[in-house]
Structures are given as C-alpha cells and as structure tokens.
Structure 1
Amino acid sequence: MTPDPALTPARRARAYAHTALTLAVLPAVVWLAGRHWPVLHTGAVRLATADRAWLLAAAAATLTTWPCAALAQQGAVLRRLPPTALVGAQFAASAAGHVLPAGLGSGAVNLRYLVRAGLTLAHAATALAVKGTAGVAVRALLIAGLVLACPGVLRLPRGGGGVPAALCAAALCLLLLSATVRSRGRAVLTALRGHGVAVHARPARAAALWGGSLGYVLGHCAALTAVAQAVGLTLGPARLAVLYLAASGAAALLPTPGGLGSLDAVLAYALTTAGAPAATAASAVLGYRLLTVWLPLVPGLLVLALLVRRRTL
C-alpha cells in the first residue's frame, strides 16, 4: 500500500510542532477576547443590524475565492485537472486549513488531491510551491501598487510603538529563511525555478496562475470592504485592502488554525489604528470571519469527507 504523502514522518513532526505552538498562542487569544468582551459584544449587536444588501455582496465576493484558488492551482499544474473536483478540493482544503494550524490542513488536502490526479509527489509539492509563491508575490505587488497609487493610504499609528517589534520579527523571518535555503533549499529552489519556467512557457497556464492568485486576494478584499460598508465603517476600499493585506501577512507568522484569533486581533487592531471605532472594527472583523470561515466550515468538511469517500483525495 502506498503511504499517504500527507502523513510522512517529516510532515507529522511539523504538525506536532505547529500544534504545540498553537496551544501556546490560543490561551493568549482567549485572554484578549475576555478582556475586550464588551467591545466584541457591541460589535456583534451592530453586525446583527447591518445592511443586508452589503452582506449579500460580501457573501458573493466570498464565493468567488474558491474558483479563483482552483484557477491558480490549475495554472501551477501543466496537465489539465477536472474543474469540478478541483474547485471542490479547494473548498475542502480551506475547511481543513481552519482545523489544522499554519496551513498544514490545506496543504495536505491539495497535495493529496494532486497526487490522486496523477502527479508525482515531487511535482505536486512543486506545483503547490509555485502557487504559494505567486500568491505571496501578488500580495506584495498589490501593497506596493496601492501605496504608490494612493499616497497616504498606509499610515503608521502615532507613537509607532509596534514598528520596531514588527521590523525585528521580519528580520528574524528573513534570517531563518536564508538559513533554510543555505542548508537544504538549493535543490528545492532549482526545482521551483524549473517548474515556474515551464508554466510561464504556456501563456494560458501563466494567466491562470496569476489571474487566479489576484482574483483570490481581491475576493477577500471585496468581502471585507462589503462587510465594512454593511456596518458603517467609513474607511475607503484601497485603505481597507492595504490593511487587510498587511494584517493577514502579519497573522501568518502566528501558527493558529486558519488565522483563528491571530488574524482577528491583528485586523481589528489595524482597523482601529486607522481611525475606525473599536466596536465598528469588531463588527467588520466578525462579519468577515463569519462569511469566510465559520459559515463555510461545516459544508467544507462535508465536501472533504465526500471527496475522500470517492477516492478523489
């Protein structure tokens, strides 16, 4: 029997390590929620009376994210994948990513799907890396483009107390990344570069990769913007997009499942430092997370079980 690539000893060790870190982070998140419970309660009440039309627009924007993720994944794979199963796998992967920490669930589901679709384990892992690299590049380019196109859209809070800590964290991440690349990443980077060249030699695949990655990010930005409009948050779409991109990037450093707690806290902090009232910011974050995480969670797990039963995973 062929061993499951998602359960190799190395991946199992990483899962244990990330789970331990998650257990260390979650108590702090619970403590913060308890300390700011009045603000969260007020935000939930405001969300209950929000504009329904804007909430429906936010739900529609959320629904576009999974086809966009599927499009990006197809762009990173040279062979054609069944579109229905591919979208279903992305939906299931998002649910799994909200159960396991630091993207391990979504990565394992996508890896298993690609292997079941006929790719070798090495090619499947490289395709996932190409997709992930494109996603990071799109986010960085969007932030740079929005900052250049809309001067003043990104303002640091007065006092800038968190800026040195953020710079130190970024420097530490870069050091760890460079150490990993020097020790064992050369072969991985060579394979990644070769696969990327092969993808970009086919314009349709390159367009799917970059278009899907861009559409995925814009879908999330649109969902947050629509929820903000629903609860009366007056920040503009460009500024909301920059704040979301920065907050989601910062929250990725904390290994909680699907950014649970970490993204909520960082995004709420970003909105309040940008001038939004605390209760309104809490409403926007609660509404965004409700649409993108909690409501799709059970259907996503059901789709995951169905794909496993049909041996698509």
Structure 2
Amino acid sequence: MTSPADLATGVGRRRVYGHTAVCLALLVCAAHLARRHWPTLETGALRLAVADQGWLLVAATAAAGTWAASALAQQGAVVRRLPGGRLVAAQFAASAANHVLPAGLGAGAVNLRFLMRCGLPPGRSASALAVKATAGALVRGALIAALAPACPGLLRVPRVPAAALATVLVAVVLVATVLLAGPPRHRCRAALATVLADIRAVHANPPRAAALWGGSLAFAALHALVLIAVTRAVGFPLAPVRVALLYLAASSAAALLPTPGGLGSLDAALGLALTASGAPAAAAASVVLGYRLLTVWLPLVPGLLVLGALTRRKAL
C-alpha cells in the first residue's frame, strides 16, 4: 500500500517536472527569439560597451543594495532576531539559486533552510517566506498605482471580454471551493491561520513591521534604480519615473511565468515595454542587457560560491 509520504513525494516530483518542462520550453522560445534578433542584440551589446561608466557604477551599487534590502524584509517577516551577516549572505546566495531553478524555487529553498537553521520550525519558516512575498507584491502594486497617474497612457491595460473575465472568475471560485471543501482543507486552513498569526505578531512589533515594509519598498526601488541608471548610461532619454513604472509593470507580468529568475520572460517584458514607450530596439536591448549583467550574470558565480560556503558551514 502506498503511504501518504510516497504520494506527497510523487506529487512533488510531478510538480517539479512540470515546472522544469515549462521552463525549458520558455527558454527555448527565448533562444529562438534571440537568434532571430541577434543583430539588434549585438548592436545593443556594443552600445553598452561604450556606456557611461559613472552611471554603470551607480547601477552596480544599487544592485548590491538589493541584497541588503531583501535581508531587511526577511528580518521584518520574523519576530526572532536573525544573524545579520549570515542573513545578507543567504540573500546573496538565494539570488544566485533563484536563477538556476524555476519560479523562485531556488530562493525559497535557500531561505527556508536558512530560517530552519536559525531555529524556526518548518511551518513558521514557510510562513515567514509567505509574509515577505505578500508584502513585496503589495508594495509593487502600490508603487504601480502611485506612479501610473504621473505617466498617463504609458500602461495600456488590454481589453478583456466580459465572457473571458467571467470564466476566469468562475474557475477561481471553483478551485477555491475544491481546496476548502476537499481533503486538503484542514492543511490549507492551518497554513492560512499560521500566516495570519505571523502577520499579527510582526505588526505588533513596530521595528519588525518597519523592516518588512521598508525592506520590500527598498528592494523594488533599488531594482528600478538599476534600470534607471543603465538607461542614463546608454544615453536613453526617458524620464526616471517612466522607467520605474515600466520596470514594475514588466517584472509583475514576468512573475507569472515560471522561468529561473525571470530569464527570458522578464527580458522580453522589459524589451517590449521599452520599445512600446518609444525606445529604438537597439537601445532597449542595451538597457535590458545592462540590467541583466548587473543583477544576474556578474553576481551569479560569486553567489553560487557563497551558497556552497554556507552549505559547508551548515548555515543552510
């Protein structure tokens, strides 16, 4: 007879296989698009090579600050005090792992193991990650709502037929009903109760609440600053507020696709957003390449080395 643990393992494996298949398909599509538009990418790379070094330094500094902001937000999601140095190192390692596994699984796994090593139970550790992710999503949405009126016409919401919208709403209601009425309902309710309890505990501690929301705000703002500085470095004359809004909208859209670190999905979304705002294709390519170079490719190997060091020292 198959045990519940075996069933859970099988479901987990199928989920990972599904994520991997979708990820590979999206990466193949991205490689195909890159091959078709290789002259534009090559021109963008050459333009980046002669970019303003001062602005690139500003972008690199902002990229480094994102790890400290992520650490601050993670501390804010936990009432217990975490070791500061190891927390920042874990965020650096998590960002590297996030570019290897799809849909944020790498960063989630690293942070989960780190919190458990710090003495938090598995349930509380997972709840802390959920609290941090929820705060990040709410901050991103609030920033979009705040910046959109300053850039009228920049974001064009596609018209969705009423029938399609109704179908999606019905599907969401059905899924929620099945989850709450089926066998997993107790686990879902217990997990939700744990998250709500952690949210109340964090907001009962003003320094932790400030760290959670301040770190989440700083994380989004610093990523937007990286993109703004890169646009300045390559001489792309677009107002900073418009660049920030384009980044927030593109990264929110890319989060719906389970590629490692948004590779392919975020690149395409950013490129489309920049070209739709009036940027030449070569300029948009150089901006995306510069942003990716500073936030992914340069920190990737050092991040993996830090990940290995933390694992050897049993900090993960």
Instruction: Establish whether TM, by shorter chain, passes 0.5.
Output: yes
Q: Sort the Cα spacing of 1:201 and 1:180 in 2 relative to 1 into closer, same or farther, 3 A.
A: farther
Asked if the contact 1:146–1:238 (Cα under 8 Å) also holds between the matched residues in 2, the reply is yes
Matched position secondary structure for 1:72: helix
Which aligned pairs between 1:39-54 and structure 2 lie closer than 5 A?
A: 39-54=40-55
Equivalence for 1:301? 304
Asked if the contact 1:19–1:101 (Cα under 8 Å) also holds between the matched residues in 2, the reply is yes
Residue 245 (structure 2) pairs with residue 242 (structure 1): yes
Kindly provide the CA deviation profile for residues 92-130 of structure 1, in whole angstroms up to 9, marking residues without a partner as x.
000000000110011000001101110000000000000
CA RMSD of aligned residues (A): 2.3
Residue 213 (structure 2) pairs with residue 210 (structure 1): yes
Equivalence for 1:233? 236
Q: Which runs of 5+ in 1 are unaligned?
A: 1-6
Aligned-partner Cα distance in 1 for 2:285–2:274:
9
- TM-superposed CA distance for 1:209, in Å, is 0.2
Q: Which moved more, 1:255-264 or 1:83-92?
A: 255-264
Matched AA of 2:245: V
Residue 121 (structure 2) pairs with residue 131 (structure 1): no
- TM-superposed CA distance for 1:167, in Å, is 10
- TM-superposed CA distance for 1:12, in Å, is 3.9
Equivalence for 1:3? none
- TM-superposed CA distance for 1:147, in Å, is 1.5
Q: Which moved more, 1:91-100 or 1:253-262?
A: 253-262
Kindly provide the CA deviation profile for residues 182-218 of structure 1, in whole angstroms up to 9, marking residues without a partner as x.
4044333222111101100000000000000000011
Matched position secondary structure for 1:233: coil
Asked if the contact 1:143–1:242 (Cα under 8 Å) also holds between the matched residues in 2, the reply is yes
- TM-superposed CA distance for 1:35, in Å, is 1.0
Residue 83 (structure 2) pairs with residue 89 (structure 1): no
Asked if the contact 1:231–1:284 (Cα under 8 Å) also holds between the matched residues in 2, the reply is yes
Equivalence for 1:4? none
Equivalence for 1:34? 35
Asked if the contact 2:148–2:155 (Cα under 8 Å) also holds between the matched residues in 1, the reply is no
Equivalence for 1:278? 281
Matched AA of 2:154: L
Matched AA of 2:287: A
Residue 155 (structure 2) pairs with residue 152 (structure 1): no
- TM-superposed CA distance for 1:234, in Å, is 1.0
Asked if the contact 1:153–1:239 (Cα under 8 Å) also holds between the matched residues in 2, the reply is no
Kindly provide the CA deviation profile for residues 127-185 of structure 1, in whole angstroms up to 9, marking residues without a partner as x.
0000000000000000001113x1416343xxx8xx24799999888766655544044
Query: Which structure has the larger Rg?
Result: 2
Q: Sort the Cα spacing of 1:264 and 1:155 in 2 relative to 1 into closer, same or farther, 3 A.
A: same
Aligned-partner Cα distance in 2 for 1:273–1:174:
30
Aligned-partner Cα distance in 1 for 2:167–2:84:
40
Matched AA of 1:288: Y
Matched position secondary structure for 1:98: coil
- TM-superposed CA distance for 1:273, in Å, is 0.2
Aligned-partner Cα distance in 1 for 2:165–2:299:
32
Q: Sort the Cα spacing of 1:11 and 1:126 in 2 relative to 1 into closer, same or farther, 3 A.
A: farther
Matched AA of 1:241: A
Asked if the contact 1:155–1:274 (Cα under 8 Å) also holds between the matched residues in 2, the reply is no
Q: Which runs of 5+ in 2 are unaligned?
A: 1-7, 180-184
Matched AA of 2:109: A
Matched position secondary structure for 2:103: coil
Matched position secondary structure for 2:263: coil
Asked if the contact 1:146–1:153 (Cα under 8 Å) also holds between the matched residues in 2, the reply is no
Query: What TM-score, normalized to structure 2?
Result: 0.89
Q: Sort the Cα spacing of 1:180 and 1:87 in 2 relative to 1 into closer, same or farther, 3 A.
A: farther
2:200 to 172, 175, 197: 197
Residue 147 (structure 2) pairs with residue 141 (structure 1): no
Asked if the contact 1:69–1:90 (Cα under 8 Å) also holds between the matched residues in 2, the reply is yes
Matched AA of 2:308: A
